[in-house]
A and B are shown apart, each in its own frame.
Chain A
Amino acid sequence: MAPEEVTYLHLQPVVIYEEDARDLAQRLDAFLKASRSSLVILIDRSGQIIAERGYARKREADELAALAAAAFAATEQVAKLIGENSFSVLFHQGEERNIHLSVVGESALMLTAFDDRTTLGLVRLYAGEAAESLMPVVQRIQSRSGPADLPDVGDRKLFAGS
């Protein structure tokens, strides 16, 4: 039996500096304006947010990112079952709001929420352009290794419970 394929992922943390955040925000804002969408979240494949712009309730973006990354990972496995490497776009249509999910390179996803003030075609068109412009920034961020100047928590009880 052939050995199963191993996907090597690095365990180094992703480090985002002011300059990266500014570059991402500029590109995501341009996309939001052009596509007339209400929210865009740049997510790494493990479900963590790299950047977000637009309107989301507090912590709504965390849940959206975790669920979207999982949905994308699951459909990637479905794609493999039918001989495709991956599906590059996922679209979920609601009655009032819709979700468009597309890849940004191999390690990130872009989630866009939009309503009837725009169209799927417009979102798709500008999502492709946005992915191109975001890719170099994402690669720059993900190619760094982690810094050492993080806080020492020692024995601090982070969560007390009640």
Chain B
Amino acid sequence: MASINYAQREITCKIVYYGCALSGKTTNLEYIHDHVPATEKGGLVSLSTQGDRTLFFDFLPLEVQDVGGFTAKFQLYTVPGQVVYNATRRLVLRGVDGLVFVADSQWSQAKENVESFQNMIDNLSQYGYSLDSIPYVLQYNKRDLPSVAPPHYLDFTLNRRNRRVPVFETVAPNGVAVFDCLNAVCRLVLAKLRAA
């Protein structure tokens, strides 16, 4: 959960990138890490297997100075996408303040996206959280690949709750819309804290 430290004038929030296996969650964090000035970031910690698949999570601490007199710290996490690692996905969600759901836009991954989205809802419910009360955005990734579903189809499968959320069409390795997506979720989280 977020913390607001008036003694140090710091706001700290936890943002989790969720999605099915190989949808590009780690690639998002790698791109962000490579393109944020050193003064605004810590090291990228990756707990991965020898085959470079995420085993537990990736972690990237970011900070922005002078947000209305505070330093805003955002701790970005990914979850392991592979189905077998559900227990660790659930652990990473503990205390989450904002979510980026990274969908793989390819037609072949349509079922996996929906299953992963439902899995996110189920895992949130284990902590008594509801997606209706957590700021989140959708990211339709891999838009550069040839066989991708159109955004309106992805909206139909993933953005059909009462609250429609912002959508970003991304190409994570090239950084297309990656920062737009990050900024959007950070703003939503801060706005939610302000309204708390």
Contact = CB atoms under 8 A, between A and B. Distances in A.
B146 interface: no
B88 A74 contact: yes
A1 interface: no
Q: Is the interface of A mostly helix, strand, loop or mixed?
A: loop
A65 to B, nearest CB: 9
B8 A9 contact: no
Given A9-B127, A151-B69, A161 B4 contact: no
Given A11-B133, A59-B61, A158-B72, A146 B128 contact: no
Given A47-B75, A74-B91, A146-B193, A15 B61 contact: no
Contacts, number: 167
B182 A159 contact: yes
A84 B75 CA distance: 31
Contacts of A15: 3-4, 6
Interface residues of A, number: 49
A145 to B, nearest CB: 7
A48 B3 CA distance: 8
Given A17-B7, A153-B187, A9 B56 contact: no
Counting contact residues on chain B (CB < 8 A from A), the size range is 35 or more
A13 B4 contact: yes
Given A6-B126, A12-B196, A66-B59, 14 more contacts: A7-B128, A20-B7, A44-B95, A45-B95, A67-B59, A70-B92, A73-B91, A151-B190, A153-B68, A158-B182, A158-B183, A158-B187, A159-B40, A159-B64
Interface of B: 1-8, 11-12, 14, 32, 35-37, 40, 42-43, 45, 47, 56-57, 59, 61-62, 64, 67-70, 72-73, 75, 77, 87-88, 91-92, 94-97, 125-129, 133-134, 175, 178-179, 182-183, 186-187, 190-191, 193-196
